[in-house]
Chains A and B, each alone.
With several copies, the nearest count.
Chain A
Amino acid sequence: MNLHEYQAKELLKTYGMPVPPGIAASTPDEADKAAATLGGTAWVVKAQVHAGGRGRAGGVKIVKSSKAAGEAAASMLGTRLVTAQTGALGIEVKRVYVEQACEVAKEIYLAALVDRSIGRVAFLASSEGGEDIEEAAAAAPDKIHKLVIDPKTGLNDTDAKALAADLGLSGETADAVATAMAAVYKAFLENDASLIEINPLAVTEAGDLFALDVKMIVDDNAIYRHPEFEKLWDEAEVSAEEIEAHRHELNYVPMDGNIGVMVTGAGLALAILDMLKDQGGEAANFMDVRPVATREQVAAGIKMLLANAKVKAILVVTIGGGVLRCDTIAEGIAIACKEAGNHVPMIVRAAGTGKELAELALNNQGVQVTYATDLAEAAQLAIIAAGGT
């Protein structure tokens, strides 16, 4: 799960990472008061949405008075922020973060993440921090420095200082960076992070460090060890259907097409999206059902597709294995159609364990479906049913 900037900063502060004073606000009035409470002469008002690229999209404003802070908040709150990472619909801004502005001499990029290819935690750092880090990195990959951590020995202070030196830092600033890295590493391990990205990590004229923006992702699979994060699950930010999907353990992402898709298995689901696209169709969503799904969870997923006015046809692709059975999927479809109607054409491609029982279940419940025998036919039938290419 993603933490908001203000949540991540609050957490990192407890590990000793210097962050500017700041207060979250849900109304313009609160933002105004927050600036006044914080004191100082300049503040940054930042939309708290789970997406990068806020600066360019108008989600970050520098203000010189508390009134202006309130006005900046008013311009953001309730609007949908569209950044390069949000998709066309953008994300509604429910909360802003008001923070004391600080003078910045240098912007560093510092991130800790799990390096998949070697299975270890690694630090990435660049002396060229800021909003354009991705482009900068693509243009000059040699400017990205990497430090891989051996889990047996942990982060070594010498290595951390060497990385700081690579960034062109020295003296107390380099020491401060090494200290910050230690804090980040500790926070990373103790909170089951899969990413802590500080960008920029500001160096002031005085040589002091401040984490100006923090993105932090916590491993969903480890949330059970951190019940405190469950509370931070920011339902307000995601759509009602995403909340519904999450509640039913469905892996769901809305898309722009007209074919509602439910697939058992993420890889197969991706393959179906590719096949639809190749044949000129467009999925309305990505929806992956876990092997341990119940028929009620499946029903919830199908009902979401049936409730989506964009969806002109539904494609269900399932391969029964040793755990998931096709008839569980079929029962879910039947429940959903009974409750929400069977008003869009339904294409089903069932194979493997429980295939025959699945067909019996749908037949017995009077659910009208068209069967496809293979993936290609399934995609084709769904596209035709949705109105053709």
Chain B
Amino acid sequence: MGILIDGDTKVICQGLTGATATRLSERAIAYGTKMVGGVVPGKGGQSHLHLPIFNTVAEAAKETQPDASAIFVPPVTAAAAMIEAIEAEIPLVICVTERVPVLDMVRVKSALEGSSTRLIGPNSQGVITPDVCKIGVMPERPHTPGRVGIVSRSATLNYEAVDQTTTVHLGQSTSVGIGGDPVYGMSFIDCLELFFADDATEGVILIGEIGGTAEEEAAAFLKSASSTKPVVAYVAGINAPTDRRMGHAGTVDVFGEGNVTAKIEALDTAGAIIAPSAADMGTTMRKALGGR
């Protein structure tokens, strides 16, 4: 039945009354997502999209017992919104906000410690279990219920993987965007663990990119994992412009971070099947699952 969300997942939206949140929540509802409320400070007691609005996540949690919160607020209040959701013990928090300051995320990451909340994002396109539940900004098309789990740092490469797995008639169990920001919630590893334990998922497509060490960590995890499900990996940026680098990229190099070749090697060595290009994610998985 996919990971993280299902047909019974009750969802609130922080920032529901915003234009994008309104449009996308309306579409999520039409898609089948069980929206139960919204949180907009100062608008408590009102109603929007036929959903009750609360001033705080705590109130919304008390009245609607949500399983998840979708955060659609501006960057300036995103960290506070995430921390509020974490403190209200919302099991799953999905933050689609782009451009959240990294030191704000350091505080959010700290708030996550010892909490039972799973945070996805920020800068996530969301999570979708096709035809069952969708939280985030991804389009409905061309998602199809199916066999492949997808986890990606890049939203558009994720859509590409969705399109390809639909085209080769594999479909998706669940597709997760963990976001491309430096500091973020759930990792590749967290998602791989869930996908490996999920009956509906027969294989996982993992999409990384230049920067950070998330792919290397995923590789280390894969090496020790007992799952036999195939993992197809693609890492973007092997020919990325070096840019005019200052200290940062240099410092990154101190740790060996950000080197795509190294990421690919690590994943390859760990047993992942490397997709030759971004156009081959679907066909590579198709072969890995025994198709032609």
Direct contact of A and B (CB under 8 A): yes
List chain A positions with a Cβ less than 8 A from chain B. 2, 50-52, 85-87, 91, 111, 113-114, 116-121, 124, 133-134, 137-138, 144, 150-152, 189, 192, 194-195, 197, 199, 215-217, 219-222, 224-225, 253-255, 263-268, 270-278, 285-286, 290-292, 319-323, 327, 330-331, 351-357, 360-361, 363-365, 374-376, 379
- Nearest Cβ on chain A to B100's Cβ, whole angstroms: 6
Q: List 7 A-B contacts (CB under 8 A).
A: A85-B249, A116-B211, A271-B157, A271-B278, A272-B278, A331-B50, A364-B50
- Chain B residues near A321 (CB, 8 Å)? 125, 137-139, 155-156, 159
Which one of A221, A266, A275 lies within 8 Å of B279 (CB-CB)? Answer: A275
Instruction: Give Cα A244 to B26, complex, Å.
Output: 33
Nearest neighbor of A327 in chain B, beta-carbon distance: B50
Instruction: Check if B169 is an interface residue, CB within 8 A of chain A.
Output: no
Which one of A217, A290, A356 lies within 8 Å of B98 (CB-CB)? Answer: A290
B151-176 with Cβ < 8 A to chain A? 152-157, 159-160, 163
* A271 close to B101 (CB less than 8 A): no
Which one of B26, B52, B160, B239 lies within 8 Å of A277 (CB-CB)? Answer: B239
* A267 close to B157 (CB less than 8 A): yes
Encode B203-237 as 1/0 by CB contact (under 8 A) with A.
00001011111100100000000000000001011
* B246 close to A215 (CB less than 8 A): yes
* A267 close to B152 (CB less than 8 A): yes
Instruction: Give Cα A387 to B246, complex, Å.
Output: 35
* A51 close to B279 (CB less than 8 A): no
* A357 close to B29 (CB less than 8 A): yes
Instruction: Give Cα A76 to B102, complex, Å.
Output: 36
Given contacts A152-B110, A219-B103, 12 further A-B contacts (CB under 8 A): A86-B244, A113-B248, A116-B212, A118-B109, A133-B250, A268-B156, A274-B278, A322-B27, A322-B125, A323-B137, A356-B29, A356-B30
* B141 close to A353 (CB less than 8 A): yes
Which one of B49, B212, B244, B247 lies within 8 Å of A91 (CB-CB)? Answer: B244
Instruction: Give Cα A263 to B156, complex, Å.
Output: 9
Nearest neighbor of A193 in chain B, beta-carbon distance: B103
- Chain B residues near A87 (CB, 8 Å)? 242-244
Instruction: Give Cα A379 to B152, complex, Å.
Output: 22
* A52 close to B245 (CB less than 8 A): yes
Which one of A51, A124, A273, A322 lies within 8 Å of B240 (CB-CB)? Answer: A273
Which one of B110, B180, B207 lies within 8 Å of A266 (CB-CB)? Answer: B180
B6-30 with Cβ < 8 A to chain A? 20, 23-24, 26-27, 29-30
